[in-house]
Structure 1
Amino acid sequence: MSDLDNKLDIFGHRLTPRELRERTGDTESVAGVRQVVLDNGSERGVRAVQLRTSAGLELEVLVDRALDLGAARLRGVPFGWRSGNGFRHPGLHEHHDEGGLSWLRALDGLLVSGGLDHTLFGGDVDATAYNYPPKQTVNHGLHGRLTAIPGRLLEAGEVWDGDRCVLRVRGEVVQATSFGEHLRLTRTIEADFDGLEIRLHDVVDNLGFDPTPHMFLYHLNFGWPLVDAGTEFVAAISETPWCSDSVAEQGVSYRTLPEPQPRFVEQVHEHTLVAEGDGRHRVALVRGDETLGVEVSWDSATMPHFFEWQNLRSGQYAIGLEPSTHAVAGDAAAREDRSMTWLEHGDSRSYTTTIRVLDGAEDVRASRAAIRALGDQPD
């Protein structure tokens, strides 16, 4: 190992941790973790943890919003989407309002997770497995209850291992009811001290003693200026088994994006992706001028399905990249075709996902080449 391998990249300078500490009384002046509380409007009272790397990656972890990811920037330039909803306090959430679509009022930020026992569109499903006669069915709204549950923060800070440092946030979210599900999400979010990569590790386990359905989805949302006219979605796609009716009606490409469209109706594609040799899926969004991009990769065995969400409406302009445990037909269909994941007491499922910022043309071209090596995609 060379001496450079032991050094951090700090604003273009290669320094060992000792050399860095010789130059500053607090390494947080360069990169670090800070806990804050949002204190105005509908966000008031929401705890957040801010991560900032020396490479210029800035990220918010919303503790009281199921440890999801809020604002995300590279050297001050946003790449995570902001919808206008704000990071609403979970106490304001109306789970059953608007025919189960009130989840859309909580949709904001880089990551909004769906689950833990239900994702996709809602409705009534059988609940007799819980053996509680007054509750024969349970009613689900869009993408489940998870995002409106506050988390319990377990760790937030710098973690040094020799000359290597990661910024780490770890916490847990429990979704539970008497005579029903009792599921726990343990989430760890890491970024290298000098890195441009967000690593997400989730473990969902059943603390209850009844067989419990489990569905999970990441709604990863990207906005302007990453998303703009000419931005390209890059993936190795073997087929697209489903798309929303709006695709045929509007004819907007899933691959290369137009400018914002007034009154645009969301388009959703379910793509079947080609996995890498290590079993991971990899997709990217890149600006047409190749100045900025993001690459998302995840374990295809645990999240074999993937949706591309196009919300190109003026004032909301966004692309969602959505790894998922289940196909678009949702809860009832998964029970019927036996693809539903059932967790017994003590059972768990683990998920690993990486979000990497592509900083300039060299990163963008390398990512595109790696994905193209897996396969092409239809025009």
Structure 2
Amino acid sequence: MKIKTSYAAILLSLAAMNTQAVEFVLTNSASGEDVGNWQVSNQSLGLSANTPFSVEKRRLHGGKQLGVDVLIVNNGELTITLVPTRGMGILKVERDGKRILGWDSPVKEVVNPAFIDLESRNGLGWLDGFNEMLVRCGYEWTGHPGVDDNGQLLSLHGRVQNTPASSVKVTIDDAAPHKITIEGEVSERTFKKAELVTLTKLEVTPGSNRFSLHDTLTNQADYDDEYQIIYHSNFGRPILEQGAKVIAAASEISPFNDYAKAGLKEWQTYLGPTKNFDEMVFNLKPIGDADGNSLAVLHNKNGSSGVALGYNVTQLPVLTLWKNTDTEQQGYVTGIEPGTSYAYNTKYQRPLGLVPTIKAGESKHFDVTYTVLRNNKEVSQAVNKVKEIQGQTPLKQLTQPLVDLSKAD
């Protein structure tokens, strides 16, 4: 019996050793810390990893990107560029030195939020900095700009993406496969209005073609509050092209507005760059597997490359598809956007039951996974997974928008 107890103690000790990690605080507003330009790698840590990896922090200069911090995470397979200064968004993802996830926006610089007025152009100022692959829209509100029921102007897609992270931390597991975790805390605090704090977390394993977001939103106020979130995930070249296709597990789809009605039947396929093509948006009601996990896939015409976006419908119950196949210069891009809400202004989503409440002291969790599909086999496997989730559930097409914007105030 003593031998068994001792052996168990040794196993517990080894397990504890295997969960140790090295941690680096890059920014902390409470203590005034900031490491400036900084870098770490498996080599500098003395880790003999099967796949070399590194994390680098750079501070940008010039133009409207003056003072912006970016984090470049290279896991040996993917290079992910995060922007702590812009709400911990993801600017782009590269492979072998070439961008594979992201898009070409007319906004060329990584704009410092200090140069953005969210309420300009009747609440469209958010667009002055919009060029990222992943933009968090929320958390106080999201959707199109407009005056709420209480008379307050709600700017486009909320404030979080233009809020610098208050703290940023990098954690790397000592034990193989040396998972890399980037944490950033983003706060939306306004006297008498809100005290929403989001701990964002990106996790990636060296050598993997997949990375994931695990975010925790906490209402630190003494009063209940509303919240909304859209994970605005944007893709252009090289995946997006004429004949590219999107497939998503869903039970219902509807046009966002009257303009989108014309594209409802062809919602899954894409045009090439088309001048005078206004954006078409579609509202989908996604379905998940037995655990609520759902999947959407975007792939190029011949199915040789793509991206799979996984999420859970109990956390993010709706899916927005944004098709903006305008000219290359104007912004040729599509958005696959799981969220708690569609892109309507908040006051039109309350009657739809899409403006949830977070209680005082309560936390909400959101998990989103991105998988880079590198060949026909991986694309086919991802598409088959969507079909498996879809099963025998028919996709109902509603011909009318959920909100009649022609009668909206």
Q: TM-score category by the smaller chain? A: 0.7 to 0.9
- Runs (5+) with no aligned partner, structure 2: 1-41, 398-409
- Runs (5+) with no aligned partner, structure 1: 1-19, 128-136
| Counterpart code for 1:343 | I
1:254 aligns with 2:277: no
Q: Tell me how far apart the structure 2 counterparts of residues 177 and 114 of structure 1 sit (CA, whole Å).
A: 18
Q: Tell me how far apart the structure 1 counterparts of residues 351 and 285 of structure 2 sit (CA, whole Å).
A: 21
Q: Tell me how far apart the structure 2 counterparts of residues 225 and 298 of structure 1 sit (CA, whole Å).
A: 23
1:152 aligns with 2:166: yes
Offset at residue 138 of structure 1 (A): 2.7
Q: Tell me how far apart the structure 1 counterparts of residues 368 and 302 of structure 2 sit (CA, whole Å).
A: 26
1:302 aligns with 2:302: no
| Aligned residue in 2 for 1:319 | 334
| Counterpart code for 2:375 | G
| Aligned residue in 1 for 2:18 | none
| Counterpart code for 2:88 | L
Q: Tell me how far apart the structure 2 counterparts of residues 225 and 203 of structure 1 sit (CA, whole Å).
A: 32
1:105 aligns with 2:119: no
Could you tell me which of 248, 255, 258 is aligned with 1:245? 258
Instruction: Give the stretch that moved more between structures: 331-340 or 364-373.
Output: 331-340
Offset at residue 51 of structure 1 (A): 0.7
User: CA contact under 8 A between 1:59 and 1:73: conserved in structure 2?
Assistant: yes
| Aligned residue in 2 for 1:340 | 355
Q: Tell me how far apart the structure 2 counterparts of residues 230 and 335 of structure 1 sit (CA, whole Å).
A: 36
TM-score (norm 1): 0.86
- Structure 1 residues 65-120: Cα deviation after superposition (integer angstroms, max 9, x where no partner): 00011121122232212313132101011111001111112211111111111011
Aligned residues: 349
Q: What's the C-alpha RMSD, in Å, of the aligned pairs?
A: 2.5
Offset at residue 158 of structure 1 (A): 2.7
| Counterpart code for 1:232 | K
Offset at residue 209 of structure 1 (A): 1.7
1:47 aligns with 2:60: no
Q: Tell me how far apart the structure 2 counterparts of residues 25 and 338 of structure 1 sit (CA, whole Å).
A: 50
Could you tell me which of 142, 156, 165 is aligned with 1:119? 142
- Cα pair distance change 1:157/1:81, threshold 3 Å: farther
- Cα pair distance change 1:327/1:250, threshold 3 Å: closer
| Aligned residue in 2 for 1:13 | none
Q: Tell me how far apart the structure 1 counterparts of residues 249 and 359 of structure 2 sit (CA, whole Å).
A: 35
SS of equivalent to 1:165? coil
1:263 aligns with 2:276: yes
1:353 aligns with 2:368: yes
1:198 aligns with 2:211: yes
Matches within 5 A, 1:269-308: 269-308=282-321
- Cα pair distance change 1:331/1:42, threshold 3 Å: same
Offset at residue 237 of structure 1 (A): 2.8
Matches within 5 A, 1:149-188: 149-160=163-174, 162-188=175-201
Q: Tell me how far apart the structure 1 counterparts of residues 65 and 128 of structure 2 sit (CA, whole Å).
A: 12
| Aligned residue in 2 for 1:95 | 118
| Counterpart code for 2:276 | R
| Aligned residue in 2 for 1:228 | 241
- Cα pair distance change 1:307/1:339, threshold 3 Å: closer
| Aligned residue in 1 for 2:7 | none
- Cα pair distance change 1:48/1:227, threshold 3 Å: same
- Cα pair distance change 1:337/1:366, threshold 3 Å: closer
SS of equivalent to 1:176? strand
- Cα pair distance change 1:40/1:30, threshold 3 Å: farther
User: CA contact under 8 A between 1:33 and 1:158: conserved in structure 2?
Assistant: no
Q: Tell me how far apart the structure 1 counterparts of residues 192 and 321 of structure 2 sit (CA, whole Å).
A: 36
- Structure 1 residues 9-59: Cα deviation after superposition (integer angstroms, max 9, x where no partner): xxxxxxxxxxx97xx98869921211111222221211111111122x111
| Aligned residue in 1 for 2:83 | 62
Percent identity of the aligned residues? 21
Q: Tell me how far apart the structure 2 counterparts of residues 49 and 122 of structure 1 sit (CA, whole Å).
A: 30
- Structure 1 residues 149-172: Cα deviation after superposition (integer angstroms, max 9, x where no partner): 100233125323x22211221010
- Cα pair distance change 1:48/1:28, threshold 3 Å: farther
TM-score (norm 2): 0.80
Q: Tell me how far apart the structure 2 counterparts of residues 327 and 67 of structure 1 sit (CA, whole Å).
A: 22
| Counterpart code for 1:71 | K
1:82 aligns with 2:96: no
- Cα pair distance change 1:100/1:371, threshold 3 Å: same
SS of equivalent to 1:290? coil
- Structure 1 residues 187-215: Cα deviation after superposition (integer angstroms, max 9, x where no partner): 00011111111110011111112222111
Offset at residue 279 of structure 1 (A): 0.5
| Aligned residue in 2 for 1:141 | 155
| Counterpart code for 1:317 | Y
- Cα pair distance change 1:47/1:328, threshold 3 Å: closer
- Cα pair distance change 1:175/1:240, threshold 3 Å: same
User: CA contact under 8 A between 2:72 and 2:80: conserved in structure 1?
Assistant: yes
| Counterpart code for 1:150 | P
SS of equivalent to 2:277? coil
